[in-house]
Amino acid sequence: MNVQQLKQLKDQLTQDLQEVKGRLQEDAPLETTELSNYDNDLADNATDLTGQNTEMAIEHHKEEEIEQIETALQAIEDGTYGICAVGGEGIPFERLEALPTAQTCVEHADQDV
């Protein structure tokens, strides 16, 4: 990977990080259907709970995405970006262009890092 390609990927990661952080901050807390749970029926409570669980899952996903982007940006700073964390070989630019947060080559993609 050449210097221009690395800069392109770093710029993309930086932009992605700003977008994800912005979406995380913009999300308003989920509102319930009633002011009090005392007079809600079971269906309303179930709807509220499902919505809250969905919102928590989405927030968790965004936090994981932020962590992955920050890890990739740190790897760029450390000089280890684009090197497979499992096998040590270079990750092709095409893979990094498609998935800039990739820490492994395609061969090792199914292994946890």
Domain assignments of the chain as residue spans, ordered by start: 3-25+41-108
Which overall architecture, per CATH, does domain 3-25+41-108 show?
Answer: Up-down Bundle (1.20)
- Cβ-Cβ contacts under 8 Å for 17 (sequence gap 6 or more): 66, 69, 70, 73
The residue-averaged pLDDT of 80-103 equals: 96
Pure H helices in the chain: 3-26, 42-78, 93-98
pLDDT at 69 exceeding the cut of 70? yes
pLDDT at 83 exceeding the cut of 80? yes
Determine the Cα–Cα distance for residues 14 and 55; give it in Å rounded to an integer. 25
> Cα–Cα–Cα angle for 36, 39, 44, nearest 5°?
85
Determine the Cα–Cα distance for residues 104 and 107; give it in Å rounded to an integer. 8
pLDDT at 36 exceeding the cut of 70? no
